[in-house]
């Protein structure tokens, strides 16, 4: 067994997002968000769950920050709910919404925890969805106004920002499969949604350059795609899947072009984008946030939707409760790929973690050995990537708390800390103890097969 040390000043944090943990969605003058509305439509969310209460973090954030302090975390990644700041999406800001985040940030700083704020983690003001949402070209300007207002109000205290969380999910789940709001299945809208999200991101970076200090970046979810066989067809299928999920966002931001495969995938719906837009989207960023959970093994399949791809289940491999294969090597592979393709941009792992069905507490303890093993193996893969020269500067566990997992409601538990839905009692799991030791010692004993 050997100890793995991480680089000096490495950040160890945990992540959450507004709609998943806050509850009180309409408090203090907030407007309804697309997620609030979606959850209240019958049949949308497993078990009819909603974010009405969630982890009650809107009211209990002080307790949660004290918990982070006890664990020895150096950073907290959270998101700001646009509909609290602009109840109607635009127009006059709501001072009480901004005041909430001001208190959150003050409390973090008082505990020596660095705030890392994401401006958009999927909850769009419902009024803006009614105005066409991300499919409307004006959405980028709405976001820019919102970014300016937030950065002006909080920019003195927060010096670590992200514009968007996972634009791919906003597009794919919102406009291709329809399992997230607005629930459309529309390959015609989807490319415009991605494009407007990227324009919004770039304008958000510009807003930050005008009024902010520190760093701003984009958070993407990356999932390596491996061809099931060495055949030409399967390799092309893996390239298409990779272009759709990973390169669709990174290529325009970091290289100024969309992958050619997208024209093949979207066919007649693939738009001709203005070169001026592509210039804007290349606005330089300070770092890239990478969310990593799993990989996919794919083959060519003429019946596999617009991508003509289907995934091959990896029988015998370990899977989490999400049905996601546990594959730590994929984290190392994708980080090495980012470095090879885009050069030495500073990276943060902005999410990584696993859902497992936890046993009920026994003597006040919740033993979650599989979650610990997941963290351990992924941290080891991360350490290997760093040893091979990838510039990773921090890591955020997903998630601090068991929370509202979107279309799955409360059925999937990612927390280091269990939250009892009825009493709201917080109970750190064994994995919280493991992670606290990693954070406090800037390393761990990580030797273990994976």
Instruction: Kindly list the catalytic residues.
Output: 166, 351
Strand boundaries in 214-295, DSSP class E = 215-221, 225-227, 287-291
Instruction: Please answer whether residues 352 and 331 qualify as being in contact, where contact means their C-beta atoms are separated by less than 8 angstroms.
Output: yes
Residue in 414, 428, 438, 439 binding ligand FCB, rule: CB under 6 A = 414
Tokens matching residue 398: 């997903």
Helix (H) or strand (E) holding 297: strand 296-300
Residue in 33, 83, 118, 165 binding ligand FCB, rule: CB under 6 A = 165
Separation of alpha carbons 187 and 180, rounded Å: 15
Pick between residue 165 and residue 246 the one whose CB is nearest to ligand FCB: 165
Provide the minimum distance between the beta carbon of 36 and ligand FCB in the complex, in angstroms, as a whole number: 16
Residue in 169, 190, 254, 416 binding ligand FCB, rule: CB under 6 A = 169
Strands 392-398 and 11-15: parallel
Residue in 61, 395, 398, 435 binding ligand FCB, rule: CB under 6 A = 398
Task: Map the footprint of ligand FCB across residues 11-30, applying CB under 6 A.
Answer: 17, 20
Separation of alpha carbons 289 and 324, rounded Å: 21
Pick between residue 164 and residue 297 the one whose CB is nearest to ligand FCB: 164
Task: Map the footprint of ligand FCB across residues 328-387, applying CB under 6 A.
Answer: 351
Strands 75-79 and 3-5: unpaired
If you write DSSP's letter for every residue of 3-25 in order, what string do you get?
EEEPPTT-EEEEE--HHHH---T
Number of residues lying near ligand FCB (CB under 6 A):
12
> What's the number of CA atoms in the CB half-sphere (13 Å) around residue 285?
32
Instruction: Please answer whether residues 70 and 416 qualify as being in contact, where contact means their C-beta atoms are separated by less than 8 angstroms.
Output: no
Pick between residue 107 and residue 352 the one whose CB is nearest to ligand FCB: 352
Separation of alpha carbons 438 and 384, rounded Å: 16
Instruction: Please answer whether residues 171 and 189 qualify as being in contact, where contact means their C-beta atoms are separated by less than 8 angstroms.
Output: no
Provide the minimum distance between the beta carbon of 112 and ligand FCB in the complex, in angstroms, as a whole number: 26
Separation of alpha carbons 301 and 258, rounded Å: 23
The site string for ligand FCB over 101-130 (x = CB under 6 A, - otherwise) reads: ------------------------------
| CA 196 to mean position of chain CA atoms | 18
Which range in 43-51, 161-169, 282-290, 294-302 contacts ligand FCB by CB under 6 A?
161-169
Report residue 277: phi and psi, to 5°.
-60, -45
Provide the minimum distance between the beta carbon of 1 and ligand FCB in the complex, in angstroms, as a whole number: 30
Residue in 64, 123, 129, 166 binding ligand FCB, rule: CB under 6 A = 166
Q: What does the angle CA 114 – CA 116 – CA 120 come to, to the nearest 5 degrees?
A: 165
Pick between residue 4 and residue 410 the one whose CB is nearest to ligand FCB: 410
Residue in 33, 114, 291, 320 binding ligand FCB, rule: CB under 6 A = 291
Separation of alpha carbons 184 and 19, rounded Å: 20
Q: How far apart are the first and last CA of the chain?
A: 14
38 lies in the site for ligand FCB, by CB under 6 A = no
Provide the minimum distance between the beta carbon of 280 and ligand FCB in the complex, in angstroms, as a whole number: 25
Provide the minimum distance between the beta carbon of 278 and ligand FCB in the complex, in angstroms, as a whole number: 26
221 lies in the site for ligand FCB, by CB under 6 A = yes
Provide the minimum distance between the beta carbon of 176 and ligand FCB in the complex, in angstroms, as a whole number: 15
Residue in 181, 331, 405, 435 binding ligand FCB, rule: CB under 6 A = 405
Pick between residue 310 and residue 350 the one whose CB is nearest to ligand FCB: 350
Q: Cβ contacts of residue 423 below 8 Å, gap of 6+?
A: none
Provide the minimum distance between the beta carbon of 20 and ligand FCB in the complex, in angstroms, as a whole number: 6
Pick between residue 169 and residue 200 the one whose CB is nearest to ligand FCB: 169
Provide the minimum distance between the beta carbon of 192 and ligand FCB in the complex, in angstroms, as a whole number: 22
Provide the minimum distance between the beta carbon of 17 and ligand FCB in the complex, in angstroms, as a whole number: 5
33 lies in the site for ligand FCB, by CB under 6 A = no
Separation of alpha carbons 22 and 208, rounded Å: 25
Residue in 4, 406, 410, 434 binding ligand FCB, rule: CB under 6 A = 406
79 lies in the site for ligand FCB, by CB under 6 A = no
> What burial class does residue 255 get, using C-beta atoms within 10 Å of its C-beta: 0-12 exposed, 13-18 middle, 19+ buried?
middle
Pick between residue 94 and residue 294 the one whose CB is nearest to ligand FCB: 294
Q: Which residue has the tokens 């390596």?
A: 224
Strands 225-227 and 296-300: parallel
| Of the candidates 178, 190, 179, 176, the residue with the CA atom closest to the CA atom of residue 305 | 176
78 lies in the site for ligand FCB, by CB under 6 A = no
Which range in 52-60, 270-278, 363-371, 398-406 contacts ligand FCB by CB under 6 A?
398-406
Give the footprint of ligand FCB on this chain (CB under 6 A). 17, 20, 165-166, 169, 221, 291, 351, 398, 405-406, 414
């Amino acid at each position: 067994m050997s100890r793995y040390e991480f680089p000096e000043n490495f950040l160890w944090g945990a992540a959450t997002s507004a709609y998943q943990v806050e509850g009180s969605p309409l408090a203090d003058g907030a407007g309804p968000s697309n997620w609030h509305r979606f959850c209240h439509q019958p049949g949308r969310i497993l078990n009819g769950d909603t974010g009405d209460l969630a982890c009650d973090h809107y009211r209990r954030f002080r307790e949660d920050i004290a918990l982070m302090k006890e664990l020895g975390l150096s950073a907290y990644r959270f998101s700001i709910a646009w509909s609290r700041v602009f109840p109607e999406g635009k127009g006059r800001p709501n001072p009480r919404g901004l005041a909430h985040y001001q208190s959150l940030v003050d409390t973090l700083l008082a505990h020596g925890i660095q705030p890392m704020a994401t401006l958009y983690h999927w909850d769009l003001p419902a009024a803006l969805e009614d105005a066409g949402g991300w499919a409307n070209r004006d959405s980028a300007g709405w976001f820019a106004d919102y970014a300016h207002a937030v950065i002006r109000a909080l920019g003195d205290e927060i010096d670590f920002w992200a514009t968007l969380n996972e634009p791919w999910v906003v597009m794919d789940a919102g406009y291709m499969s329809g399992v997230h709001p607005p629930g459309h299945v529309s390959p015609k809208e989807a490319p415009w949604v991605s494009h407007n999200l990227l324009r919004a991101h770039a304008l958000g970076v510009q807003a930050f350059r005008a009024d902010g200090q520190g760093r701003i970046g984009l958070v993407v979810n990356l999932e390596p795609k491996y061809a099931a066989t060495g055949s030409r067809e399967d390799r092309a299928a893996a390239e298409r899947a990779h272009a759709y999920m990973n390169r669709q966002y990174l290529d325009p931001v970091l290289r100024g072009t969309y992958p050619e495969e997208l024209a093949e995938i979207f066919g007649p719906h693939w738009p001709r984008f203005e070169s001026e837009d592509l210039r804007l989207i290349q606005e330089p960023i300070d770092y890239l946030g990478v969310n990593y959970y799993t990989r996919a093994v794919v083959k060519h399949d003429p019946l596999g939707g617009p991508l003509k791809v289907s995934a091959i289940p990896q029988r015998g491999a370990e899977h989490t409760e999400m049905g996601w294969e546990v594959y730590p090597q994929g984290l190392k592979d994708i980080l090495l790929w980012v470095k090879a393709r885009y050069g030495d941009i500073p990276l943060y792992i902005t999410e990584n973690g696993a859902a497992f069905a936890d046993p009920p507490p026994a003597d006040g303890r919740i033993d979650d050995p599989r979650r610990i093993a997941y963290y351990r193996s992924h941290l080891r893969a991360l350490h290997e990537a760093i040893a091979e020269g990838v510039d990773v500067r921090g890591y955020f566990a997903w998630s601090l708390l068991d929370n509202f997992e979107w279309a799955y409601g409360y059925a999937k538990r990612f927390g280091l800390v269990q939250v009892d839905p009825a009493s709201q009692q917080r109970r750190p799991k064994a994995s919280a103890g493991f992670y606290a030791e990693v954070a406090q010692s800037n390393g761990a004993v990580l030797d273990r097969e994976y």
